[in-house]
Amino acid sequence: MTDRDTRHQRSMQKLKQRVDERVAAAQEQRGLLLVFTGNGKGKTTAAWGTVTRALGYGYKVGVVQFIKGLWECGERERLHDDPNLDIAVMATGFTWETQNRDSDTRACEQAWQHAERMLADPGTYLVVLDEITYMLKFGYLDIDTVTRALTQRPAEQTVIVTGRNAHRELIEMADTVTEMHDVKHAFNAGIQARRGIDY
């Protein structure tokens, strides 16, 4: 072995020891609150990736889509007939399409009923509240209502919240927060959203 090999081996041994120590120190087992926020692409994609991951082990999953009622969604197409997946879609599109605050609020309240049902079900391993941050921002949904339901959920249940500008209280409550940072986006170069890639 060269000196370089020996040095590499030694540093890998040290790294392994540190990782093993941290793995051993992580003792707690419970459901998590994850927040995927920020302006970059990938929040909803990451949520669906986790849905697929949980379904892969046969866990029951609930997804509430808070603003994409009229949108196509490839993951929903692929997964909707999985008996372990419960999907609720808010029955309206973007607010600037419908331009009706009352009907949007009602649609949001209906979607939230589904969310509450899922958040109260100990059999549901994972709940995704996709784009819910906008409901809070537009005032269609009250932050206290949401934090109460999150606090009271079953201890083994994991929840993923997605959307830009996540409410400070959600960030504080969360176990894991990832901010997708927009370095570049094709849309800003005039390229259309692409089927099967962007939705």
Active site residues: 39, 41, 43-45, 53, 94, 96, 131
- Kind of pairing between the strands at 60-65 and 124-130: parallel
State which residue, 60 or 162, has the beta carbon closest to ligand ATP: 162
Least gap, CB of 180 to Mg ion (angstroms):
9
Which listed range, 35-43, 100-108, 116-124, 152-160, lies at the site for ligand ATP (CB under 6 A)? 35-43
> What's the rounded Cα separation, in Å, for the pair 132 and 121?
19
Out of 41, 106, 117, 137, name the contact with ligand ATP by CB under 6 A.
Answer: 41
Q: 104 vs 131, which CB is nearer to ligand ATP?
A: 131
154 vs 151: CA distance, rounded Å: 9
Nearest CB to ligand ATP, comparing residues 7 and 194: 194
- Residues of this chain that bind ligand ATP (CB under 6 A): 39-45, 131, 162, 164, 180, 182, 185, 187, 193, 198-199
